[in-house]
Structure 1
């Protein structure tokens, strides 16, 4: 009963929010969105059962246990401990919880979020995961709503299925995990960057969405901001070039290229200043350190891209092709050694098959032309490749690989679905649909 009531209230809250949101979509899209919402709720329940009742350990349980300690203190003295819970979220020193300051910054954020979720749900892990799953669903919904006017109507249902129905996208965004929080921030940031490229949209609202989303992502998955900033700069670059040429051929000017790169580099340098662990000068050392840690751990799901962890930039770059392939296609079916790995392998084989089918149906030349005439596809391609490079280089376990790459998968699926149809795309600029 202690779990049932908070869970029911959480689901009711989500259903009401969904009902209000569906009015912005066509009837033929609403059924798929309702189905995606239901899948996220089921995945949240599965996350609790598998992590707590089946395995008995996991990051989610650690976050909830430590957050529960803070929540209990808040129930005893809210005025004294609530500020500390907020400080944890923004990775600041606490006054009464010094022992939590030794955690990694992103983990401290998760402790802070967990404390508030524990407090609001009266200690219900089911209700907490349901609330996170609802948040991640709406993060993807915001992302889809931003991309929706940029693609033909016949693609909209496929985009929903690709971005919100794939098993990994649903499952790994429906628990109390960093990836779940990151996808909420990515949805807001993507909405903001797309609206900022549209002269008819509200610039202040778009800027707020971009800023809020970037802060959320930066707190839990800082490394995502680098690929996102570079991809956003490329979007601006391609959009300006295509508008100048009337969409017929990319007409690029040095000024636009310099401005786009300056914006991207400013963002990357800013990330390094705020989060020194991810500064450009530390990226190679960080990748090498994570590879060494992974090589010391043995197990059925571990893997290594090389026998030793390279300590130079050239050594890391030499592994880049295999790292990207690993993040975008593995595990292969013959690498699956348990049920979870088999599901992941089947899913990635299906995605790889869709990509190859798209390239086959269009041909290499036409596929390239379609991408070059679509700033959204340039954005998703660059983001996916850079994200895959980072995850592929620093991950040494097939189980964590499926989870770590989840924030990239909605963009990857959008890219494939948009590339798959045989009918030609309209050229940029296109009239946005209401």
Structure 2
């Protein structure tokens, strides 16, 4: 970070807050309004804090690798606006002599997923005079837009839990720290929020279908470009959600039994199509190579960790069958670890405290409600079914693909709001089942708690 970071950051903060206050009334209501600015603030704190941690604690890392790429492109833009724009928006498959001299300086030029983030960062750099902290604020602001969309979608589905849902989406330390700076994770969790918003409003709520579909497709495009496995984890439970919502509207039990196989088959076909066509030919995510790739990544990351943050979920040979065997351990390590005695540094301590919260809420809910009744409750509520299946599927993926807690804490942040949000919704539902409280004017409250 440089002197211009200190000079420009306060000015851009005023600009972003000015925009936020200007749009707040359009995207909030009397219940959600009070969370808008605090949620944005923690994103800004996370974005700046991540840069400071990487600079003074880690001594470098991916966030500064992205920034180094923006320096090259910003210089190219200064030499020739045409060259700069070609590096940001151009097609890499076409030879262009105007940008040839810059390409050797761009280590990730031929790495599509990383360079997609470089494109976004470089566009922000032009608006930010290539100032790292200001670029980080842009990333936080972009990410926040998607996470706010995620939050108001949750609130629309279950408005009674709007306070705790705000905690689940915005105020988990790992989520706002790792999901706010100049990293893939910031872009992906924001994009996931827009996918969730678009999917729900276009297929379940069926309001503002065109706008919701457009925003959802933009989010899906970003996930395909950066971390397609998040979208692939989202797809099967989302299709099951559609079935559950529609089957509950069919009064005839016999007709439901006839329609159910159709939805299941359709879901399997769509999931297979997405998994095979979206990842075909991709060395990282091709389904034919994912087992082998997972084994390589896990072994490499484990071997690189010398500070005690590695974990072992069991041996597997890279086949999908062996991944199934280690799946339970992968879920446990993703949702409930590191345990407090496994903490080796302050970053792991935050993750361990979050894991304690997850453990406490999970086991207390199942204990107080009963195991059978808990699963019946999850099966009866489509949003709970979706959240838990999505969280478990993604937990298996990141748990087997990491190998150490340092990378796992970043990989798992997309599932954390959904898992904790589901626990909080389940907490309310379970309390209603036990006490059967009388809630006055539920319809009025639902209307007030929804932002459209």
Same fold (TM over 0.5): yes
1:395 to partner: Cα distance: 0.5
SS of the equivalent of 2:250 reads: helix
Residue deviations 1:360-418 (CA, integer Å, cap 9, x gap): 23222222222212222111111101100000001012111111111111111111111
- What is the aligned partner in structure 2 of residue 208 from structure 1? 214
Distance change (3 Å), C-alpha of 1:52 and 1:272: same
| Structure 2: distance between partners of 1:352 and 1:61 | 35
Q: Which of the residues 157, 164, 180 maps onto 1:174?
A: 180
Q: Answer yes or no: is 1:423 the counterpart of 2:415.
A: no
Residue in 1 aligned with 2:195?
A: 189
Cα 1:238–1:130 shift into 2, 3 Å: same
The 1:320/1:198 distance shift into structure 2, 3 A limit, reads closer
Structure 1 residues 112 and 262, CA, compared in 2 at 3 Å: closer, same or farther?
same
Cα–Cα, structure 1 residues 128 and 313, in superposed 2: closer, same or farther, change >3 Å?
A: same
Match of 2:42 among 30, 39, 42: 39
2:18 paired residue number = 16
Task: Show CA shifts across 1:66-121 (max 9, x none).
Answer: 12111111121011221221237xx7667324434664321111222222222221
Q: In 2, distance between residues paired with 1:108 and 1:378? A: 35
User: 2:381 is matched with which residue: 370, 374, 378?
Assistant: 374
Change (3 A) 1:403 1:47: same
**Which residue matches 1:364?**
371
Q: Alignment length, in residue pairs? A: 427
Residues 132/305 of structure 1: CA separation in 2 closer, same or farther (3 Å cut): same
Structural RMSD (CA): 2.5
Q: 1:158, CA displacement in angstroms? A: 1.0
- My pick for the range that moved more, 321-330 or 417-426, is 417-426
Instruction: Report the equivalent of 2:287.
Output: 280
> Are 1:77 and 2:80 matched, yes or no?
yes
Superposed, 1:17-416 pairs within 5 Å as 17-19=19-21, 20-87=23-90, 95=96, 96=99, 97-99=102-104, 100=106, 103-151=110-158, 153-198=159-204, 200-245=206-251, 253-273=260-280, 275=282, 277-305=284-312, 308-416=315-423
Offset from partner CA, 1:259-282 (integer Å, 9 cap, x none): 222222222222123745312211
Q: CA deviation at 1:206?
A: 2.1
CA displacement at 1:308 relative to structure 2: 4.8
What is the alpha-carbon distance in structure 1 between the residues aligned to residue 308 and residue 114 of structure 2? 24
Greater mean alpha carbon deviation, residues 101-110 or residues 341-350:
101-110
Contact between 1:3 and 1:127, CA under 8 Å: does it hold in 2?
yes
Residue 359 of structure 1 contacts residue 420 of structure 1 at CA under 8 Å; is this kept in 2? no
Preserved CA contact (<8 Å) 2:139 2:182: yes
How many Å separate the matches in 1 of 2:205 and 2:331? 35
CA distance in 2, matches of 1:84, 1:305: 41
Deviation by residue 1:107-150 (Cα, 9 ceiling, x = unmatched): 11122222222222112111111111122122110011122221
Distance in 2 (alpha carbons) for counterparts of 1:109 and 1:216 = 9
How many angstroms apart in 1 are the aligned matches of 2:284 and 2:46? 33
Distance 2:227 2:82 in 1: 30
Task: Check whether the contact 1:284–1:316 (CA below 8 A) recurs between aligned residues.
Answer: yes
**Unaligned regions of 5+ residues in structure 2, if any?**
none
Any idea what SS the aligned residue of 2:204 has? Answer: coil
User: How far does residue 159 in structure 1 lie from its aligned partner after superposition?
Assistant: 0.5
Q: Do the aligned residues in 1 keep the contact of 2:204 with 2:242 (CA within 8 Å)? A: no
Distance 1:93 1:118 in 2: 25
Distance in 1 (CA, whole Å) between partners of 2:114 and 2:360 is 36
The Cα of 1:177 is off from its aligned counterpart by: 0.5
TM-score relative to the length of structure 2: 0.87
| Preserved contact between residue 162 and residue 410 of structure 1 (Cα < 8 Å) | yes
Distance of 2:152 and 2:130 partners within structure 1: 33
